[in-house]
Amino acid sequence: MPVLSKDLLTDTLPLCVDLDGTLIHTDTLHESAVAAVFSDWSNLGRLFVWLRRGRATLKHELAERWNFDAALLPYNEEFVALLRAEKAAGRRLILVTAADSRVAKAVADHLALFDNVMSSDGAINLRGARKAEALCASFGDKGFVYAGDNATDHAVWRNAAGVIVVNAGGHLRRVAMRRYEGASTVGARRWQGRALLKALRPYQWVKNIFILVPLFTSGGLRDLAAWEHTLVAMIAFCAMSSAIYLINDISDIEADRAHPRKRYRPFANGTLGIMTGLVWAPLLALLGAGLGIWSGAWIALGIYAVLSLSYTARLKEMPLIDVFILAALYTLRLEGGGEASGHTVSLWLLGFSSFLFLGLALIKRVSELERLRASGTAAWAARRGYDVQDLNILQMFGVGATFASIVVLSLYVQSQAALRIYERPQILWGLIPLMLFWQCRLWLSTARGYMHDDPILYASRDWVSWLVFALAGGLMLAAGQA
C-alpha cells in the first residue's frame, strides 16, 4: 500500500479528496451524459441547452436523470485503502468534487469514509479556482492537504499545505514534484492503448469469416477478383463492428458492472475513458464505410450498422427480438460476402443460415442466463428482458432452430441447385451428421456450463469444432464445384 510523505502524515490538517479520476477511475459527468442520452435520445439536444446555462446546471440536470449504483463504480482501491488507513489514524477526510451533490453524496454514503462533502450544487461549479476558494474559506490558506489528478488541480494545490497527485500522467507528476515541496504521488495514469485494443474486441473479428461463405457455396473459389473484394469487405465489417462494440460498451456500462464477467471490460472498470471511445468509434465507422463502398458490400454493411446501433440503443432489451436481431447480423455478413464477391447468396443458404444463426443466438442468451443463475446475479438479465425462469423455453426454441437448419440442409443436398454447383453432390450428405453433431455438442456444452457466452468464439477455441469445420470443408472440396 502507498504511504504519504512524513510531512503529510498529520491528523491536524484535513485531507481533501477529489472524486473523478482520483477516488474513482472514471468521469461521472461523462457517464451521466451517456446514460441520459441512451435512456432518452431527446436529451442529446437538451445537453446544449443545459450547458448554455452553465456547467453546474448541466451536471445537476444529468445527475437527476442518472440512476446509478455507487457501489458499482470503479473505485481506485489502492487510494481507498490509503484513505481507510488515514481515517483509522484519526484523520479528517473531506470529499471535494466538481461533480453534482447527488453524485458526491451517493459515493460518500457508500464508502462511509468522509466527514464532510463539498460539491457542485446546480449553481456553482466547484472546480479549479472555485474549489480553492471554498477550501480556503472552510480551512484557511494552507490549512488542508489536497489529493487530485489533473492540471486544473494546480489552482487548489497552490493553496494547500500538502499535495497528493493521484493517477496522473508522467508530466503532471514531474511538475508537481518540482513545484510543491513534499508532494506525494499515488499510482500513475495507465496507458490506454492496451485497454482500447481490448475494447475493439479483435477476437470478435472471427465472426466475419462468414463473409467468405458465398465463395465456397456458389462456385467462386477460382475468382481472384472476388477474393480481393471479399477480403476488403471483411476488413470493413471488422472496423464497423469494432466501432459499434465501443458504442455498445459505452451505453452498457451500468449493466456490465453488474455482470460477473463483463464488469472487467475497459469502460466498465475505468481503464478506458469514455471520451476516448467516443473519438475512436466514428473514426472506425468512417473507415468501415469507405472500405464497404469500395468492396461493393455497402448495402449489407449499412443495414448491419443500423441494426447494430438499434440493438445497442433499444432492441437488446426486448426479449426474443434481440436474438432475431443477432441472427440477422450474422446473416448480413453472408449477404455482404455475396455483394462483395458478386456471387449471390442463394435462398437455400439463407434458409439454412437463418435457422443456424437463430440457434447460435439462443445459445448465447441461454449460456448468459446459466452463468447468472449460477452466480446469483439477476440485474443484468433483467436489463435484457429475461429472467432465469426463461431458460427452459429458450432452450426449446434453440434446439428447434438447430434441427430446422439440418432439415433445410438435407433438402438442399438433394436439390437441383446442388446439382448445378457440385459434380458429386451426394458427398454433401456427410455435412448433415457433421453439422448436427457440432450444434448438439454446443448445446451440451451450454447445458454443462462450459459455454463461453458467444458460441462462435467458443468454437474458434475448440479443437473439436475445428476438426468438424475441416471435415466439412474437405467434403465440399470432394464434392467438386462444376
Return the amino acid letter for 235.
Answer: I
Contacts of 416 (CB under 8 A, 6+ apart): none
Q: How far is CA 144 from the centre of its chain?
A: 39
Q: How far is CA 12 from the centre of its chain?
A: 44
φ, ψ (nearest 5 deg) of residue 413: -65, -15
How far apart are the two ends of the chain, measured CA to CA in Å? Answer: 70
Q: How far is CA 475 from the centre of its chain?
A: 38
- DSSP-assigned letter for residue 355: H
pLDDT of residue 1: 46
Query: Three-class SS of residue 314?
Result: coil
Residue 162, beta-bridge partner list = 145
The H helix count followed by the E strand count for the chain is 23, 6
Distance CA 47, CA 43 (A): 6
Return the amino acid letter for 426.
Answer: Q
Q: Is 45 exposed, middle or buried (0-12, 13-18, 19+ CB in 10 A)?
A: exposed
Q: Is 224 exposed, middle or buried (0-12, 13-18, 19+ CB in 10 A)?
A: exposed
Instruction: Report yes or no: 299 and 334 within 8 Å, Cβ to Cβ.
Output: no
Residue 93, beta-bridge partner list = 15
Distance CA 363, CA 240 (A): 24
Residue 146, beta-bridge partner list = 16, 163
- Across the beta sheet with 184-186, the strand order is 116-120, 93-100, 15-17, 145-148, 162-166, 184-186
Sequence length of the chain is 482
Contacts of 329 (CB under 8 A, 6+ apart): 304, 307, 308, 311
Cα four-point dihedral sign 301, 305, 308, 314: negative
Residue-by-residue DSSP string for 318-329: STTHHHHHHHHH
- DSSP-assigned letter for residue 21: T
Query: Three-class SS of residue 163?
Result: strand
Distance CA 381, CA 201 (A): 22
Nearest alpha-carbon partner for 3 in 112, 81, 76:
81
The tens place of each residue's pLDDT in the chain, 482 residues long, gives: 454 554 555 557 999 999 999 999 999 999 999 999 988 888 888 999 999 999 999 999 999 999 899 999 999 999 999 999 999 988 999 999 999 999 999 999 999 999 999 999 989 999 999 999 999 999 999 999 999 999 999 999 999 999 999 988 888 888 989 899 888 888 877 788 899 999 999 988 988 999 988 887 776 667 788 889 999 999 999 999 999 999 999 988 988 888 778 889 999 999 999 999 999 999 999 999 999 999 999 999 999 999 998 888 778 888 899 999 999 999 999 999 989 988 888 888 889 999 999 999 999 999 888 877 776 655 555 556 777 788 889 999 999 999 999 999 999 888 888 788 788 888 989 999 999 999 999 999 998 888 876 898 888 889 999 999 999 888 888 887 65
Residue 77, all three cell numbers: 482501491
Instruction: Report yes or no: 184 and 444 within 8 Å, Cβ to Cβ.
Output: no
Nearest alpha-carbon partner for 167 in 18, 278, 13:
18
pLDDT of residue 5: 55
| Residue corresponding to grid cell 446544449 | 48
pLDDT single digits (tens) 188-213: 777 888 999 999 999 889 889 999 88
| Residue corresponding to grid cell 451428421 | 433
Helix (H) or strand (E) holding 116: strand 116-120
pLDDT single digits (tens) 327-376: 999 999 999 998 998 888 888 888 999 999 999 999 999 988 887 777 66
pLDDT single digits (tens) 445-478: 998 888 876 898 888 889 999 999 999 888 888 8
Instruction: Report yes or no: 296 and 232 within 8 Å, Cβ to Cβ.
Output: no
Distance CA 265, CA 74 (A): 11
Return the amino acid letter for 340.
Answer: A
**From residue 448, how far is each of 374, 436, 457 by CA, in Å?**
12, 18, 17
